Amino acid sequence: MAQLTHDQELKNKLSAPLATGNPNFHDVTEAVSIISEVKTHRNWYIALAITGSITGMMGLMIAYLIVTGVGVWGNNAPVGWGWDITNFVFWIGIGHAGTLISAILFLFRQKWRTSINRFAEAMTLFAVVCAAIYPGIHVGRPWRAYWLFPIPNEFLDMWQNFRSPLLWDVFAVSTYGTVSALFWYVGLVPDLATLRDRAKTKARKLSFAIASLGWRGSATHWKNYEKAYMILAGLSTPLVLSVHTIVSFDFATSILPGWHTTIFPPYFVAGAIFSGFAMVVTLMVIARWIYKVEHLVTMTHLENMNKVILATGCIVGYAYATEFFIAWYSGNPYESYVFFVSRASGPYWWAYWSMVTCNVISPQFFWFKKLRTNIPFMFVISIIVNIGMWFERFVIIATSLHRDFLPSSWGYFRPTFVDICTFIGTFGLFLTLFVFFTRFLPIIAIGEVKGMMAAAAHEEHYLDEAVAASQGKEPVGAAH
Amino acid sequence: MADKTTIHGMVGDFDSPDQLMDAIRAARKAGYTKLEAYTPFPIHGIDDAMSAKPSILGYVVVCCGAVGLTIAILLQWWTGAVAYPLVISGKPMFAFEFAIPIIFELTVLLSAFGAVFGMFALNGLPKLHHPLFNYSGAEGITDDRFVLVIEAGDHQFDAAGTREFLLAQGAAKTELIEE
């Protein structure tokens, strides 16, 4: 019964303007705002209960780790970095697509970003939260985790080593998290004002009034706002490239064969964008279906993201090939051993070839328009890509470490149940944050979509585009 | 004249951005100077039409970035070479090469603070109340209404005449709003 009224309510609000196929400004406000205004659906509580329990499991695992010690993980000599760093790099990488969409595509004036940027930025933020857990808990004594930062205190009595890339990483990730949060909030303010002005209850009005800081959309406001947005996009662009570059320095500045390579920074950045876009596709496919915003997040958006996945997947494949070529061409026996023996045919061969299958082969299907515009197919590929990208980080870490220079200190990394449950738990946290985000905040940048429509109104093909967009097709006469 | 101090201005509420832009141009031509437009999204060219000065936010950001850069250099030099010099793998106590990643990050961080907090400060936000919210149709501004306010402080302001003027520009609705 609840299901019916909810759907009916949404349908009544949405289908009318869609039937005529030409959404106006008010329709956009309505379509996006209504998501957070309808009565909370029973399924939302079910979703929250599931994701919340998984997050709770992560909490228990972390508590167990803190009271017992990092020995509860599978990390041990010679594999001193296990799933903690794998998962940290995995989550940080996921975040990169959000910044790419919000900043780099903005600077390149890619109009299609407007419908998905809010969602992708939220993903960035939540992924950084998940990533940030790992450095905090893997330090051994997490109650001393603030020693990572140069905060004067009576216990440490010394200063951090600024010559270490690990400290650069602390600065890179915390700057990235902070700037992403600010960028996201700045984008939200005008839309929070929209929700404030639509609020029916006093409590709702008050909370959005506080959150929107009294925004009133004056020309002066917009002038400074647009400037700030442009500057933040300009700052975030090199920032996002720097983050995974610095993460890769954690490996590249060491002398370990398989890590000590100059290809790492661009290779890591491409992989990050690759996995991040795959995650946006996974989440967007679900969200546009649940919240019925298919007319705002159209097939064109999904197809464009799939094209980015294809392009970055090819870059990643090229990087894998280059690593092998250099290992052979350098004539360094340790380097060739890591690639030709440890990775391709050693005890981790299964991880290496899973990675190649998922990351290099699976995106190639997107060369075909039929496949990259097929929603179930792209959903499956996007998940496969993320499995592959997780394996990439695992392969880099485990294969380079497990066979030390002396055969007497060789080993094999096996995750414990704490490793596995903590990792699953981070997905619970990620999804819980999303469950809250999609319930309470505008999941599409209302103001930006309207601004884009207004700009499009001055173009000849506006009507064609709007009709086509509302039907989920490409605009008539648009370049293919 | 007596009630002029309590009146903020006259609202003209328009249906489309184009109408608003035409009204702004007409108002400027008619000699009005104290105007403010309120819109659901930024409108291209509105600053030129209102002869608004460009935002000074860029200068704020440059200053904040310079502060971040300075802090990063001093922090790394002072902690590593002065306060606690420690030889690690024979590396120098301070050198720009290894200092660059953190110099970059702190410059970006402080610049972003400048951009965000500077923007809010220049916009006078957060603000508890503004006369605009006395307008009965203020809710429409964040949805699909395009509002022009001619402020009472304008030397040409005159409630009846200004209302006439706005209606002549095609305003769907006009309203006198209080301070």
Spans of all domains in chain A? 33-444, 448-480
Of A158, A193, A231, the CB nearest to B84: A158
Same domain, yes or no, for B36 and B66? no
Q: Which pLDDT score, from 0 to 100, does residue A115 have?
A: 79
Instruction: With a cut of 70, say whether residue A6 has pLDDT above it.
Output: no
The count of domains in chain B is 2
pLDDT tens digit string along A343-362?
Answer: 999 899 999 999 999 999 99
Q: Please state, in angstroms and rounded to a whole number, the distance separating the CA atoms of residues A176 and B118.
A: 19
Could you tell me the residue range of the domain that residue B110 belongs to? 57-122
Query: Is the CB of A219 less than 8 angstroms away from the CB of B128?
Result: no
Q: Which pLDDT score, from 0 to 100, does residue A308 have?
A: 92
In angstroms, the separation between the Cα of residue B146 and the nearest Cα of chain A is 10
Determine if the peptide bond prior to A333 is cis (ω within 30°): no
pLDDT category at A480 given cuts 50, 70, 90 is: very low
Q: Does A234 contact chain B (CB < 8 Å)?
A: no
- Per DSSP, A95 falls in state H
Return the higher-pLDDT residue of B78 and A104: B78
Question: Shortest CA distance to A442 belongs to which of A10, A29, A48, A18?
Answer: A29
Alpha helical stretches, state H, B80-158: 96-122
User: Which residue among B104, B122, B140 closes a domain?
Assistant: B122
Question: Shortest CA distance to B109 belongs to which of B67, B73, B75?
Answer: B67
Find the mean pLDDT for residues B56-60: 92
What does the CA dihedral A236, A238, A242, A245 come to, rounded to 10 degrees?
A: 130
Inter-CA distances, A90 with A238, A243, B101, Å: 20, 13, 21
The tokens of A395 are what? Answer: 């392969």
Q: Does A185 contact chain B (CB < 8 Å)?
A: yes
Instruction: With a cut of 90, say whether residue A197 has pLDDT above it.
Output: no
Same domain, yes or no, for B118 and B134? no
Q: Please state, in angstroms and rounded to a whole number, the distance separating the CA atoms of residues A98 and A279.
A: 10
pTM given for the model: 0.87
Q: Does A94 contact chain B (CB < 8 Å)?
A: no
Please tell me the least confidently modeled range out of A3-7, B19-23, B30-34, B36-40: A3-7
Instruction: With a cut of 90, say whether residue B60 has pLDDT above it.
Output: yes
Is there a contact between A219 and B36 (Cβ–Cβ < 8 Å)? yes
Q: Which pLDDT score, from 0 to 100, does residue A2 have?
A: 45
* Identity of the residue numbered A368: F
Q: Which pLDDT score, from 0 to 100, does residue A471 have?
A: 56
Helix H or strand E encompassing A248:
helix A219-252
Express as a percent the part of chain B with pLDDT over 90.
31
Q: Which pLDDT score, from 0 to 100, does residue A66 have?
A: 92
Of B46, B86, B132, the CB nearest to A219: B46
pLDDT tens digit string along A34-50?
Answer: 888 888 888 889 999 99
Q: Please state, in angstroms and rounded to a whole number, the distance separating the CA atoms of residues A454 and A456.
A: 5
Q: Please state, in angstroms and rounded to a whole number, the distance separating the CA atoms of residues A467 and A225.
A: 31
pLDDT tens digit string along B90-105?
Answer: 889 999 999 999 999 9
Q: Which pLDDT score, from 0 to 100, does residue A433 have?
A: 94
Question: Shortest CA distance to A433 belongs to which of A122, A222, A69?
Answer: A122
Q: Please state, in angstroms and rounded to a whole number, the distance separating the CA atoms of residues A366 and A377.
A: 10
Q: Which pLDDT score, from 0 to 100, does residue B54 have?
A: 86
Q: Which pLDDT score, from 0 to 100, does residue B1 have?
A: 44
Chain A residue numbers touching B111 (CB-CB < 8 A):
231, 235
Q: Which pLDDT score, from 0 to 100, does residue A22 have?
A: 59
Is there a contact between A55 and A432 (Cβ–Cβ < 8 Å)? yes
Find the mean pLDDT for residues A109-133: 87
Q: Which residue of A has its CA nearest to B139?
A: A197
Same domain, yes or no, for B79 and B94? yes
User: Which residue among B79, B104, B122 closes a domain?
Assistant: B122
Q: Which of A102-106, A136-140, A426-430 reaches the highest mean pLDDT?
A: A426-430
Pick the CATH number of A33-444 from 1.10.3720.10, 3.20.20.70, 1.20.1630.10, 3.40.50.12280: 1.20.1630.10
The tokens of A153 are what? Answer: 């205190």
pLDDT tens digit string along A457-477?
Answer: 665 444 455 555 555 554 444
Helix H or strand E encompassing A204:
helix A202-211
Q: Please state, in angstroms and rounded to a whole number, the distance separating the CA atoms of residues B108 and A237.
A: 10
A-B CB pairs within 8 A amount to 185
The CATH number covering residue B167 comes to: 3.30.70
| b/e burial code for range A401-426 (CB count within 10 A of at least 16 → b) | bbbeeeeeeeeebebeebbebbbebb
φ, ψ for residue B113 (rounded to 5)? -60, -45
Find the mean pLDDT for residues A403-428: 91
Of B52, B79, B139, the CB nearest to A198: B139
pLDDT tens digit string along B123-177?
Answer: 888 888 888 888 888 888 888 888 888 888 878 788 888 888 888 888 788 888 8
Q: Which pLDDT score, from 0 to 100, does residue A154 have?
A: 76
